[in-house]
Structure 1
Amino acid sequence: MPLPGPVAALCGDAQRLYDNPPGGRAGHAYDRCMPSSLPTSLAVSDAITHYRQLRELTIDELAYVLRMLDHPISADALAEMEGCARPVTVDDLVAIAYALDATPAVLLSHIPIDMPEPEGPLATGLPSDVDQTELRAWLEGKTTLDRESRVGWWKERVARLKVRSAHHEEQLQGAYAELRGLGDLALQEADAPPVQRLQWRIQDGEHALNQSEVALALTEHRLGNLQEDA
């Protein structure tokens, strides 16, 4: 994967300090952090590890990039941040997000991919029913978290999902119609590339429609809960 943004510019001639530096391939933050870690601290710690590894950077290379950005953080300090042993300041957050070709909102709303179902809020101090999509929208200033705004935001989300489901349904019905139009040929020439491509379209369409309908049902349920609490 090519190095993105500032990493490409600043890391081109960076010397590899260690082949396998300590903490260079750390595990997930929730495995390394204390159980009492606050959710936002946990999210940022794991996000630094996740995006650093995604960019194929060692901790020493990330420290080098940050030094070139005039915000030096030692490799040891970065390892402590990834292990929730050192707080990440807002200045650290902005510099690290830029160095990793991400944004502060991305790091703050990160959820470890195989983290168990959270028992509390995804971010410190927020309502426990705020999900990642709504959290990201709030962090980016696209919505607020007062009850009226939340209901409106979820209504818009329901409307968008209904449009998406209708689109998938239309595409799927079109593929079904094409298959019916082939008549017996679809059975006699089932291995023919045009018939196979049509079958793949139908399979993909059924999957997409099912996914969108599940998302719509969950979103409508969330909206209903918010409206009941209002």
Structure 2
Amino acid sequence: MAPGCKLQLSVMATRPVEIGPAGLHAARAIEHLRLARGLTQQQLAVRCTALDRPMTNTALSRTERARRRCDIDDLVTIAVALGVSPSAVLPLPTAHGPLSHAADIQGVLLG
């Protein structure tokens, strides 16, 4: 480094990023779809692992309770393991904006 130059370091946020309305909807939809199919968290975890995305029932539990963020790779694998399109666990756009804050889970099952 040249004399007189300052080194700047970026600092990562120390608080976790909150789970927003789409994440909350997805968490509820995953649990609802799993229960509708008569699967335990352990059984769904085994299905996800068989799809080359290792997952524990603890991770699924935390995801369903919105205590763990669900990344896109997890979301796609969970949806496939549940036999639905990944879009089936996401909220639908509404006239009030891109996300439904009070999305009806029944629409997920009928869609």
TM-score, with length taken from structure 2: 0.66
Greater percentage in helix: 1
Task: State the distance in 1 between where 2:65 and 2:99 align.
Answer: 18
Structure 1 75/90 Cα, relative in aligned 2: closer, same or farther at 3 Å? same
Matches within 5 A, 1:12-161: 37-109=19-91, 123=99
In the superposition, relative to structure 1, how do residues 122 and 57 fare at CA in structure 2: closer, same or farther (>3 Å)?
farther
Which consecutive unaligned segments of at least 5 residues does structure 1 have?
1-35, 111-119, 137-230
Structure 1 residues 79 and 122: CA distance shift in structure 2, 3 A: farther
Distance across 2 between alignment mates of 1:38 and 1:54: 24
CA contact (8 A) 2:45 2:56 kept: yes
Unpaired stretches in structure 2, ≥5 consecutive residues: 1-17
Choose 1 or 2 for highest CA Rg.
1
Using CA pairs under 8 Å that are at least 6 residues apart, name the structure with larger relative contact order, 1 or 2.
Answer: 2
**Which segments of structure 1 move beyond 4 Å, counting only runs of 4 or more?**
none
Distance 2:69 2:99 in 1: 15
Offset at residue 123 of structure 1 (A): 2.1
Per-residue CA distance 1:47-106 (angstroms, 9 max, x = gap): 110000011000000001111111111100100000111000000011001000111111
- What do the CA deviations read for 1:156-188 (whole angstroms, capped 9, x no partner)? xxxxxxxxxxxxxxxxxxxxxxxxxxxxxxxxx
Give, in whole Å, the separation in 2 of the partners of 1:50 and 1:91: 20
CA distance in 2, matches of 1:122, 1:49: 23
Q: Distance in 1 between matches of 2:66 and 2:97?
A: 18
Identity of aligned residues (%): 33
Q: Answer whether contact 1:43 1:109 (CA < 8 A) is retained.
A: yes
Normalised by the length of structure 1, the TM-score is: 0.33
What is the number of residues matched between the two proteins?
A: 84
Root mean square deviation of aligned Cα: 2.7
d(CA) in 1 for partners of 2:47, 2:19: 28
Opposite residue 25 of structure 2, the aligned amino acid is: A
